Amino acid sequence: MDERERQEYLEKLDRQMRDIAADFPEEEGKNILRAYDYARRHHEGQLRKSGEPYIMHPVSVAVIIEQMGLDSESIMAGLLHDTIEDTDASYHEVAKEFGEPVAVLVDGVTKLTQMEHTSYSTKEEQQMEDLRKMFVAMAKDIRVIMIKLADRLHNMRTIQFQREQKQRDISVETMEIYAPLAHRLGMQGVKWELEDRSLKILDPVGYQEISDYLEEQNHGFADFLDLTKARITEKLEQAGIQCQVKARLKSVYSIYRKLYGQNLRFSELYDICATRVIVKELADCYNVLGMIHDLYKPVPGRFKDYISTPKPNGYQSLHTVVIGTEGIPFEVQIRTEEMDRQAEYGIAAHWKYKNGLRGSQKEETFAWVRQLIESQQDSDATDFIKNVKTDLFADEVYVFTPRGDVINLPKGATPIDFAYAIHSAVGNRMTGAKVNGRIVPIDCELHSGEIVDVITSKNSTGPKRDWMQIVKTNGARTKIKQWFKKERREENIEQGRSVLERELRANLLYDNFQSTEMQDLICKRMNVPNLEELYAGIGYGGVALSRVLAKVRDEAARIKAAEAKEAKLAAHMNKPRKSIADTGVIVEGLDNCLVKFSKCCTPVPGDPIIGFITRGYGVSVHRQDCANAKAAARQPGEDGRWIRTEWAEGEKHQYHTGIKISGRTRVGMFNDVLTSLSNMKINVTEMNARDAEDGHFDLYLTISVYDREQLEFVLGRLMRISGVSEVKRIMAGS
């Protein structure tokens, strides 16, 4: 993208933002444009993988947020969402400029792994803390996750510019975390697009097969849907029912799940086509259902009433599958206009049509987030990620209390899960259960529509340890752990000690664990205060035994490696000493020799190096990939003059090296380069510039750096200067 294209592109973004700002009251519109200007200035010089100015991403996120119907604060946060993470902007600066609510939203979306002074031992631990931070922010303000979904949606739309493995990693995370979150919030349009785009990356063959089939059958499906819409509309108009009839094909991923998950053929799919009937009044929904069944033959067992029993995300509708006159089965969804808005926009509908959430709505919306956080407070990284995925992905069943209250549980849930879903005390005193009036085992699987009655006793001794292997909900599992943690401490300690010692012996790690130093270290790694608490945690299930064993194994291996290194070092100390020249280079076998760096390749610490014994000038140090060194090595009779050299550890010297900067000529370019180097405290010892073709320039610099890591950092920062197209290291004099 040349300078003219870049300016045209930025002008297009300016127009987009002015259009968005114009949809809000004047003061809010001004704040949106201020946020845009702030983000644009802070992302100046940064590019996306596509080569486009980075600001296009925040603007695209803001556009998606505006389409969701969220407020001006959300749009401002969308524009600023990467400033704290990827620029020198701070939370306090954003709060001062745009207010605390906007800063809280931006901070909620910012990854912990990118923040200063943060380190994690595993990728799972990073992901866990990022998710936990996001869920905590969600519990305070649900707009955090909607901004994050907009961010992820645009990243998925531009994912083709990432490397292949990165595409797969992002798509897996999207499918496992963000698409289920969109579903949980009722944002079906976002969910379908995230799923389809992820599937296209994860199984391109399956995606293409379904896309090709839909394209081949497009004409037939279109005719069928048009005819169906016309017949239903005519039927309902004759009955005097005001309605709107829509028809569409299922999403690619919805078809994929049925096709491959149930091992079906295309001809066996019942509901590729779907028709939606939207009416004014609730009573009309059931009237329309009767007319649809009068018009078409219903498929037995394929009727679902989500109006009387809404889904946990608030979705309400009547679903029925019928057979069309052409013998094609299709689904009909019947709902009111308000239900349709909820189905289309989910939680965002409250902003789009009701100006946010209020009172009991807010409590109800945040309840599942808070429950998820509370149930995972003591979880380690691996368990947290697994449990979040389980809670978000699980298919649900709807069962009733004897009073008729509806309890939502994941598929496969047991009466124990049901008891703890009512209250912890009910679960702790449970002795049995009845389903539809009949006594059942406490591990039986519950099904939708069943009436469950929990049998309790004041004389109950509490839950059993094996219940944790039976329950399906993480909430029930956590409450059982909490009971054992509180009520059975001595028993937990004894059981934990016994189990740990047995497994340590089985894994040949028992002796490694006996030292006080090792025990203290493992307690620190597991975030428990002492060995007794470690045993108690293992006993009640709060500490994963597998993680303790893994930590012991890792520390034992680390200690063994350290001992081997010490032994090697001791042996090395008895060998002839190498000399460390003032230049920070160790020359093997020579004392007090003169060392100089070759000007042909200008090596710096971090480069593999080799020495050449010169006549009268000591040792000349070259990079091992130096063309001159390779040519000299091939000359006959020179073999004995090459000597092994290496960089001394802990030595701090500055070394000269050459770099070349290329780009488009503009006023102030060289000043920006020198200012950037000055800000990085990089000394420039030589500079030479020349004009290239078509208004471009080449700038040659000799700079001083401590090592290759610092050099690469400098090259990266220089690439961010506006107009710079290439920065590379060169051989001096080239």
DSSP codes joined into one string, 520-559? HHHHHHTT-SSHHHHHHHHHHTSS-HHHHHHHHHHHHHHH
In 3D, which of 453, 422, 423, 410 has the Cα closest to residue 435? Answer: 453
Helix, strand, coil share (%) of the chain residues, nearest 5: 55, 15, 30
Separation of alpha carbons 498 and 310, rounded Å = 48
Could you give the residue numbers annotated as active site? 85-86
- Asked if 250 contacts 319 with a C-beta cutoff of 8 angstroms, the reply is no
Residue 342 has a CB neighbour count (10 Å cut-off) of 24
Q: Measure CA 521 to chain center.
A: 31
- Asked if 128 contacts 384 with a C-beta cutoff of 8 angstroms, the reply is yes
133 Cβ neighbours under 8 A, 6+ residues apart: 108, 112
- Asked if 323 contacts 329 with a C-beta cutoff of 8 angstroms, the reply is yes
Q: Which residues pair with 358 in a beta bridge?
A: none
Q: Which residues pair with 642 in a beta bridge?
A: 612
- Asked if 595 contacts 579 with a C-beta cutoff of 8 angstroms, the reply is no
**CA-derived radius of gyration, the chain:** 33
Q: In this structure, which long-range contacts are made by residues 512-517, counting pairs with CB atoms below 8 Å and at least 24 apart in sequence?
A: 512/552, 512/555, 512/556, 512/559, 513/552
- Ramachandran region of residue 562, left (φ > 0), alpha (ψ -120 to 50) or beta? alpha
Separation of alpha carbons 610 and 625, rounded Å = 9
550 Cβ neighbours under 8 A, 6+ residues apart: none
DSSP codes joined into one string, 376-396? TTT--HHHHHHHHHHHHH--E
**For the purposes of burial, counting CB atoms within 10 Å of the CB of 630, is it exposed (0-12), middle (13-18) or buried (19 or more)?**
exposed
**For the purposes of burial, counting CB atoms within 10 Å of the CB of 610, is it exposed (0-12), middle (13-18) or buried (19 or more)?**
buried
**For the purposes of burial, counting CB atoms within 10 Å of the CB of 236, is it exposed (0-12), middle (13-18) or buried (19 or more)?**
buried
Which two structure tokens, joined as six digits, stand for 643?
């000597």
- Asked if 254 contacts 264 with a C-beta cutoff of 8 angstroms, the reply is no
